[in-house]
Structures are given as C-alpha cells and as structure tokens.
Structure 1
Amino acid sequence: MDDFKRPSADSGDDKAGGKAERFSRSGFIFAAIGSSVGLGNMWKFPYITGLYGGAAFFLLFTICLLLIGIPVLLAEMAIGRGGRGSPAVALVRLSGQKIWGGFGLLSIIGAFFIMSFYAVVAGWTLHYGVLTFSRALGEGTDFAGEFFDFIGGFLPVMWQLVVMLITGWIVLRGASGIEKFNKILIPSLVVILLFLMVRVLMLDGAGAGVEFFLKPDFSKLTNESVLVALGHAFFSLSLGMGTMLTYGAYMDRQQSLGSAALAVGGGDLLYALLAGLIIFPTTFAFGIEPGQGPGLAFIALPAAFSAMPAGWLFGGLFFILLAIAALTSCVSLLEVPVAYSMDRWRWGRPKATIVTSVLCFLVGIPSAISVGGAVGGLHWGPRSFFDWTDFIASNIILPLGGLIVTVFVGYVWRDAGREAGLTAGWFIVWLFILRYVAPLLIVLVFLHSSGILKF
C-alpha cells in the first residue's frame, strides 16, 4: 500500500505535497450540480418522459432519485471525503486492501472514455452556437444535410480540441478554478433556462406540450419504465463514474453530506423539469417528434428556431445552454483521471492535466470521425467507434462502478455512517438501501441497458 500513502487529509497537504485543495461549501454544491446536469436531460429525458406517461414518469423518476440516487450519491461523497483521494486511492485507503484499488480504477477508466466522446458532442454544441449567433445556420432549409455534412468531415476534431483546451485550462486551476467556473456557469445556465422557457411558453400550441409533459398517464407505467427511470436518475447524478467521489475528496469536513446530496439531487431535478418545459412546448408548437436524440438538438430544434422571430438569438442561447451543460460535465469527467494521476504517481497538477488531456483528445479522435463516416472502417457491427465507446462505458462500466460503491459502503467500510453524519435511524435506512435494494436494482438496470434483460 505504500504507493497510496499520503499525508493526512486534514494536514494541509494535497496530492502533490502542497496546500490541500478544497471546495467551499457552496462551491461543492455548484460543482456537483455542474457535473450532474448534462446533455442527456435535453434530448433523452423528454423522449422517455413522453414514452412512459408524462408527469407519471416524472414522478417515478423523482421517487427513484430520492430513494436510490441520493443514497448512492451520499455513499460516493462519503468515500471521497473519508478517503481524500480519487476512487482507486480512496477505496484502498479506507479498506486497507489493495484489491479495491482495481475496483476503483474501473470508474476512472469509465470517466476517461466517457470524456473522450463527450468532448466530441460538446464540440458540436460550440460549433452550432457560433453558427447560430453568426446567422450562418439555416441559410437554407436542409438542416439535416448541414448536420450530416458537418459530422461527416474533420471539423468536429477541431471543436473537440477546443473543448479539451477549455476543460484542461479549468482543471489545471484545481479545485478553486473548478469552483469559480461552476459558480459563473451554473447561475448562467439557470438564467438561460428560464429565459428560453418563458419564450417557448408564448408559442402558439405550446400549451399542448405543457399538458403532455405535466398531465400524468399512469397506464403507460410498466416494469420497464421503472428501470428506465432508475437508470436515468442514476446516470443523471453522474454516479458510478467517480466524479462525485473525486469531488467529495475536496469537501470541507464540516459540510453536511446529507444536505449536500439533497441540494445536488434537487438541482438535477429542477434542470430536468425546466428542460421538459422547453423541449415539449417547442416540439408541440412546431410538430416535432421529441424522441430524436441528438437529431432533436441539431436538426429539428434549429428548424424550429429559424421559424421564430429573432430565432438566431433564441437558437444561439439554446446552444450556449447545451454547451454550458456539456462543459461543466466535461470538467468533472476530466478531473477524475487527473486526480488519480496526482494520487498514484505523485504528479503535479499541471503535468497530470496536460498528459491526461492529450491522451483523452487522441483517444477521442476516432469517435469524432466515426459518427459521420469521415474515415471508413470505424464501424463494427451495428455501431460506430463512438457508439461502442458510449455503450461500453455507459452501460457496462458505470453500473459496475455504482455496484462497487454500494457493496463497499454496505459491507466493507465500517466507518461509513460516521463519515456520512447520519442519525442512527437514517443510517439503518441508508445501509439497508445500499446493502439490499440498490445492488439489486443496479444489476437489473445493467441487464436492461446492456440488452440482456428485455420486456
């Protein structure tokens, strides 16, 4: 275990031997919310909500988030703060067993590969933001053609590089830089969300979209919808990928983990609600199918914005909104392997950030050029390199990472309750969920998302 030894978490020493990196109490909340809000809530959440009963599914999603998502989030935060390190290091430090370092490394690998393709999509949002504000987007009417021409070339690689440079610059500044970044961008995101929501609610036909979103249809709730809601609650909180655990290592000892977990869960829930109140009114007003995935954001909605007065402004704000959501998630994803490099090899933050960013960019290039077929031979079976990376990281590595967290806190780490700061009654409930409920449901979500379990 000598490789993982480090000065005490509260001694004032950080990963590289200098002053400890810490978030302020509000800084952690902003950073954690920034990690949880992402692109999925803009194009995946509306689709699954409409498919499984509107407000009925939203209620189910809320219940899953409260009963499973937040307890697992609390477990990740407790491990991070208790172990004061990246996933692999914190698990070894708290258990005293090297084998847990291998388990923790799984989530670090997952975060690295998710970052490699997530930066590609984040680059798309920046490109479209520039196009929309410059009024170059939509000069014709073939929005699908414009999108496929873009992803079919090498321009996405340039925008991927821009995203990596921005993300690396923020991470290079450490916990204080990440905190300042999120304290600026998260309030900005809320302002843009509210502004766009008010605008689209004024569209003719928007009321039908609001009714579709907020009117419950419990007849559409099925066994499958429970697993879908649980999976979205789990992944929308960035669980299983080591981000919340890594951020937890920068938390103040006096901060209430329970209150922090509730605040992060509430922020994620609010973002999902506002996203729905933007997407559904817009899609209904213009007769757009909300279940189009990325096509909704980069083809259908640009067409809708182009038909609005001052559509370049609202479309531009929409893509800035997507870019903010993407970049705040990118920062948390990159911080995971950077923190591990600092812990494991005692690298300084500059070296760890530069090396990790370069490797992540290089690994992400095949994803950037495989989506639109810029280079042949990057498809295997039904999926491109991009899709395979997404599938393996999101549907296999992350559920396993979440399962490791629940087993570790539920059965291995004896001081988890003290670190979490729970009363005796709440600790019993929390431990029961982590030992018996969450592992079973995570396995079911894993089997369903990987295509093994079908309904």
Structure 2
Amino acid sequence: MVLVFIREGKCVKIETNQNSLQLEPKASDSFTSTGFILAAIGSSVGLGNMWKFPYITGMYGGAAFFLIFILCLALVGLPILLAEMVIGRGGRGNAVSSFHNLSKTKWWGYFGFLSVLSAFAIMGFYAVVAGWTMNYAFTSLTGNLFENPDYTASFLSFAGGNMPIFWTIITLIITCWVVAKGVAGGIEKFNKVLIPGLAVILVILMIRALTLPGAGEGVEFFLMPDFSKLTAESALVALGHAFFSLSLGMGAMLTYGAYTSKKQSLGKAAAAVAGGDLLYAFVAGLIIFPTVFSYGIAPGQGPGLAFMALPAAFAAMPLGNLFGFLFFFLLSIAALTSTVSLVEVPNAYLMERFKWSRAKSATIVTLIIFAISIPASMSMGILSDNLLFGKTFFDLLDFVASNIFLPIGGLVVTLFTGYAWKRAGEEAGLSGFWYNAWMFCLKYIAPIMVIVIFLYSIGIIKF
C-alpha cells in the first residue's frame, strides 16, 4: 500500500506493509543508487588507506598482513557496514533517532549519540591533517616543497606553525559548502566528480611507481606473503584497520543509509563499498612500496612516511613536482570525501533535533569543529608541552575517538542488529544462507572481535 502526504510543502511517499511504515526521503534529500555507492566509498577511502595502511603493512609483514586484512574485512568490516546501512534506512533518521525509531526506546539512541560526539572529535584533528595534504599539494606544484632537503625538519616546522590553521579553514569551508548544498545537490554531486577523479589519479601514480627502477622489489614485498612475520599483534592491527577504514562506528554509513531508497540493494552496495575500500588499499600499496623501495626508503617508517619520507622520492624523480602534486592532491580528495561524511553525522542530528535549516546547521557544526581544530593544530607547536592525560590535544582527540567511541559504536551496531532488532534481515533484503551468515558474524564473530579491538586499543591486551 502507498500513502502520500504533505511535509514542508512537498509530496512525500510512504510505502507500507503489514509490519512497517517506511518513509521514503524527498528526492532532494536522497541518493541515487550510484550516488549512494560513490558517497559511501568516498567516506571509507579516506587518508587511512593511503596514509596509514602502507606504513602499518610495512611494519607488520607486507603481503601476509594484507591477506589478514582482507579476511578481517570480510568477517568483521562487511557485516557491520551492512548493519549500519540497514539501521539508517530502516530508521530513516540520524545516528540517534534511527535507533530510537526502530527500538522505540531512548537507551539505544543514547549509544547512537556517541557517533555524533566521535564525528566532532575526529574532525577536530582530521581537518588539520587534511589541511596538511592541501599545503603539500600546493607546495609540490610550486616546487617550494623541495627547496629544503631536510623534509623531516620542514614538516615539523610547518605543522608547528600557524599555516596549518589557514589550510584547516580551507578544508572546512569546502566541506561546509558541500554539506549545505544538500544530499543530492551537494554530497552526491561532489562524490560523483571526485571519486572518478581519484581513480584516474590512482592509476597514473600506480603506472609511474611500477615503472621506477627497482620497483619490482617493492611489488614483491607487498604481494609475496611471508607468514613467518605474522604475530598476534599484527593480526589485531589488521583487524582494527579493517574496522576503521570502512568508517564504522562513527555513524557515517548509518546517516547515508537514511538517504537511500528502498529500491537500493544494500547487500550489493555494502559489497561494492568494501570492494572499493580494498581496491583503494591495494592500489595504494602498488604506489607506495615500489616508490619507497626504488629510492631506498624504509617501508615501515610510521605516520611520517607520507609527509617526511616520500617528498625525498618525488624530489629525485623526473617530473617529481608534478607527481608529488598528484599524490598529495589525491590525499586531499580522499580527505575531503571523508570530511563531508563526518560533518553530515552531527549535521543530520542537529537539523532533526532543533529543526534548523541545512545551511544553518552545517555552519554551526563547522564552527564548532574549527574551534576544536585550533588547539589540535597548535598542539603540534606552541601547545605541544600542554598535555592532557599524558597526550597532546591532537593525540587525545585521536585516542578517544578511535579507541573508545568508535569501538563502542561498532559494538552497539552489532548487538542492536544481531539481537535487538528482529527485522534487520527483511530490511537488508537477505534470506537463506546469506542472512544466516550475516547474523552469525553479527552475533558471534564481530562483537568478540570489536571487544578485542577495544581492549587492545586501550592497552588492556598487550604483547
């Protein structure tokens, strides 16, 4: 049965059956099928897979680590990803109200509020790092990046100064503008342009990396497994990255799911997003490892690999300023598609909670994030000695969001979908073997693994 009523002067369609009342979002507030998948991929393929994945792969054994990452992605990442999408579309609300709409209790919504808090915390430092990538893209193109061969000193001087605040402002202005334009007119159009562009740049950089002298050694390191290097710690790191690389536990996929039509196959969409995330990580490896091996850079250098080590490789490379620009511009694109999804989480909550317009809500969210990002950026410089709980403000935001809020948020999603909400399979469109496999992962595998991630992250499990 189909009902039509008037909301805010617009005709809105409701599809009903004997068991549910399902609101279809307005066309201006909904994704097309392709737009939803591209936006979800854009949310997942952030800085993590291009910046973090290569160095943790280098630290924990190359190809053997990558295989464990794939296994974790299939058993933990994909089931929780689908569960978030299902909750969002079933609840047709923000990260808080979707739980309430489906459970009819406030308690699940309280847990959902962690997603709103985590989005603010993550954006507080993520916007700063996104600004770094923009600066490096600009200075690569102009050649200024390569004037001082001491790239470690150059990065520390830049990150500890005032310029990152300027680039953070640029990041937040672009993000706010996209979110304020709406779902179809802003977020979807933005991702439809940037995600294909990102793919083109990935291919160009991969071809350049694979044709460097000595690139084969890097490819071998990445693709030839050495299982003797695998440890329990490396397996946990792979599990944690599989969880975080898909933007799980932060409400982004849940919020995007609320803008998705009932005609969209969520199972196929989740598989496409997980596949896109995996492909992005794979190509990132084929860019980073041939490059670092070609120029004698240690592949496990840590977070400074992108900003301190790779500029040396670009400086020695023919047309290095061009390829350096493409690399850091790629990072900028990946960062922006993620910042948009992160800002939309609290934006959706505030719009619904206070009945604000999208533009007003996006502006207020952006201003709050900017206020958080200033001390985060300054903690790399003049505030570096001001520690909270033994951490700089930048590191504290990262620790609280990544190690506390996100695992708890992911655990709530698994427990709610696996145990509390009985219509999850119907909303997901799964039955038979695939439904049973999904439920088994959500009930027994994913919760245990997320708890292990949480205990390892906060230091209770040690090696």
Q: How far apart are the structure 2 equivalents of 1:9 and 1:48?
A: 48
Percent identity of equivalent pairs: 59
Q: How far apart are the structure 1 equivalents of 2:331 and 2:301?
A: 16
Q: How far apart are the structure 2 equivalents of 1:38 and 1:361?
A: 20
Unaligned runs of 5+ in 1: 1-5
Question: Which amino acid in structure 2 is aligned with residue 423 of structure 1?
Answer: S
Q: Kindly provide the CA deviation profile for residues 236-278 of structure 1, in whole angstroms up to 9, marking residues without a partner as x.
A: 0000000000000011111111100000000000000000001
Asked whether 1:293 is paired with 2:298, we answer: no
TM-score w.r.t. the length of structure 2 is 0.93
Q: Is the 2:75–2:446 Cα contact (8 Å) retained in structure 1? A: no
2:282 to 273, 280, 298: 273
| Residue in structure 1 matched with residue 98 of structure 2 by the alignment | 90
Asked whether 1:361 is paired with 2:348, we answer: no
User: Once the 2 structures are TM-superposed, how far is the Cα of residue 449 of structure 1 from its aligned partner?
Assistant: 1.7
Q: How far apart are the structure 1 equivalents of 2:280 and 2:26?
A: 37
- Give 4+ residue runs of structure 1 displaced > 6 Å after superposition: 6-9
Question: Which amino acid in structure 2 is aligned with residue 103 of structure 1?
Answer: F
| Residue in structure 2 matched with residue 3 of structure 1 by the alignment | none
1:321-336, aligned counterparts within 5 Å? 321-336=330-345
Q: Is the 2:222–2:285 Cα contact (8 Å) retained in structure 1? A: yes
SS at match of 1:255: coil
Unaligned runs of 5+ in 2: 1-6, 16-22
Asked whether 1:67 is paired with 2:68, we answer: no
Question: Which amino acid in structure 1 is aligned with residue 296 of structure 2?
Answer: G
User: Once the 2 structures are TM-superposed, how far is the Cα of residue 338 of structure 1 from its aligned partner?
Assistant: 0.1
2:183 to 175, 179, 193: 175
1:306-321, aligned counterparts within 5 Å? 306-321=315-330
Q: How far apart are the structure 2 equivalents of 1:230 and 1:376?
A: 31
Asked whether 1:230 is paired with 2:239, we answer: yes
Q: Is the 1:9–1:84 Cα contact (8 Å) retained in structure 2? A: no
Q: Is the 1:117–1:389 Cα contact (8 Å) retained in structure 2? A: yes
1:128-207, aligned counterparts within 5 Å? 128-176=136-184, 177-207=186-216
User: Once the 2 structures are TM-superposed, how far is the Cα of residue 377 of structure 1 from its aligned partner?
Assistant: 4.7
Q: How far apart are the structure 2 equivalents of 1:324 and 1:20?
A: 24
Q: How far apart are the structure 1 equivalents of 2:161 and 2:280?
A: 33
Q: Is the 1:43–1:292 Cα contact (8 Å) retained in structure 2? A: no
User: Once the 2 structures are TM-superposed, how far is the Cα of residue 18 of structure 1 from its aligned partner?
Assistant: 7.3
TM-score w.r.t. the length of structure 1 is 0.95
| Residue in structure 2 matched with residue 282 of structure 1 by the alignment | 291
| Residue in structure 1 matched with residue 252 of structure 2 by the alignment | 243
Which stretch of structure 1 is more off in the superposition, 392-401 or 198-207? 198-207
User: Once the 2 structures are TM-superposed, how far is the Cα of residue 363 of structure 1 from its aligned partner?
Assistant: 1.1
Q: How far apart are the structure 2 equivalents of 1:423 and 1:412?
A: 18
Q: How far apart are the structure 2 equivalents of 1:97 and 1:375?
A: 43
Alignment RMSD: 1.9
Question: Which amino acid in structure 2 is aligned with residue 284 of structure 1?
Answer: F
Asked whether 1:409 is paired with 2:412, we answer: no
Q: Kindly provide the CA deviation profile for residues 119-147 of structure 1, in whole angstroms up to 9, marking residues without a partner as x.
A: 00000010111111011111131222221
Q: How far apart are the structure 2 equivalents of 1:9 and 1:290?
A: 54
Question: Which amino acid in structure 2 is aligned with residue 195 of structure 1?
Answer: I
